[in-house]
Amino acid sequence: MTLKSFLLSTIAGVALTIAAPLAASAADCERGTLDERYCDVDGDLIADTPTDEAELLDPDTLIFAYTPVEDPAVYKEAWSDFLTHLDSVTGKKSVFFPVQSNAAQIEAMRSGRLHIAGFNTGSNPLAVNCAGFRPFTIMASLDGGFGYEMEIITYPGSGIEKVEDIKGKTLAFTAETSNSGFKAPSALLKAEYGMESGTDFEPAFSGKHDNSILGVANKDYPAAAIANSVMSRMIERDVIKADQVKSIYKSQTFPTTGFGVVYNLKPELQEKIKEAFFTFPWEGSSLKKEFEKSNEGQFLEMNYKDFWDVVRKIDTANGVEYTCG
């Protein structure tokens, strides 16, 4: 099976796990690549908020989920101070929803059970097109820098000194929806080295970045493609030692997790949620304690159309279609 056919079948599989859509009310309208239940009249590539009051949500309890890059228990505590601030700004109660997979997170938003989320880099296009996700911010350093790199790592003594040495061996990916854990390395390995999964090396899927990183550090995998921001935080927490792994490839910088809301929240509520992100006091917070490990200390306003352009191009190179079932 070719990489393209494998990826398309995988994305289709993810799409089939997404819950059956609610009754679509979007009339014939401009929507680009969005699912038929959404409209994109203004051409910003994300779903428009409905103008019909009957289609808008104003829940008493706001459900928030952070991308499952590591054990969700780590992030429930990290986001606790932010959720307290969110409650104060919106006047509502908020709950952290510990999702176990990217597909489950997309399913929850598409079915109306998730209102606010941080989707990982690679899942943003699928969440936007299939779940009505409206991202508006990412984390950044205090000087405005943002993003992370995909790195291919191995362990000292593995016999792998350069990318070409992976031929005939196993390369661990995280999940098919991950940018740095699958999409980017698949496209880059093919474009730069002429290497394809299943032909030049055997793929393994660990499920999460921390699983891949631990797998290499413990010599369970000879090599893995990972997000270096996750690795940096794991080294800072002493989950692994820096000398347990070594990098043999580092990509260009990609946008990190995109945060946003589901398309059909009341416009006033969407604005209050944005206000909560942009007024959050980082200093001394549980969020700063966790994310300063990867040099992040503020929420930076962004737009999906521009910031995710490179990710959509990688999807195009991989033959990905945003099929929502």
- Give the pLDDT score at 8: 36
Nearest to 257 by CA among 315, 305, 300: 300
Question: What's the CA dihedral at 153, 156, 161, 167 to 10 degrees?
Answer: -70
Domains of the chain: 3-145+255-317 (3.40.190.10), 148-254 (3.40.190.10)
Q: How far apart are CA 159 and CA 4, in angstroms?
A: 29
What residues have CB less than 8 Å from 166, skipping those under 6 apart?
152, 160, 195, 200, 201, 222, 223
Greatest Cα pair distance, the chain, in angstroms, is: 62
Helix (H, G, I), strand (E, B) or coil at 122: helix
- Output the CA angle 301-135-188, nearest 5 degrees: 95
Question: What is the C-alpha to C-alpha distance for residues 95 and 276, in angstroms, rounded to an integer?
Answer: 15
Model pLDDT, residue 314: 87
Other Cβ atoms less than 10 A from the Cβ of 158: the count is: 19
Q: CA-based angle 150:156:159, to the nearest 5? A: 95
Residues comprising the chain, all counted: 325
Q: Give residue-wise pLDDT tens across range 127-136.
A: 999 999 999 9
- Rounded mean pLDDT for each run of 10 residues along the chain, 325 residues in total: 36 38 60 95 97 96 90 86 98 95 93 96 94 97 91 98 97 92 92 93 96 98 96 94 97 91 98 98 96 92 93 86 81
For the beta carbon of residue 67, count every other beta carbon within 10 angstroms.
Answer: 28
Residue 60: CB atoms within 10 A of its CB come to 7
pLDDT at 317: 83
CA distance 24 to 36: 8
* Contact present, 30 and 40 (Cβ < 8 Å): yes
Look at residue 4 in the predicted model and tell me its pLDDT.
37
At 177-189, the pLDDT tens digits run 888 999 999 998 9
Provide the pLDDT for residue 26: 57
CA–CA separation, 170 vs 95, rounded Å? 39
Q: What predicted TM-score, i.e. pTM, was given to this entire model?
A: 0.76
Looking at residue 237, its amino acid is R
Q: How far is CA 120 from CA 65, 113, 168, 214, 238, in A?
A: 11, 18, 30, 20, 23
Asked if residue 132 lies in contact with residue 21, where contact means CB atoms within 8 angstroms, the answer is no
DSSP 24: P
| Per-residue tokens: 178 | 């991950």
Q: Which of 149, 155, 105, 145 is nearest to 126 (CA)?
A: 105
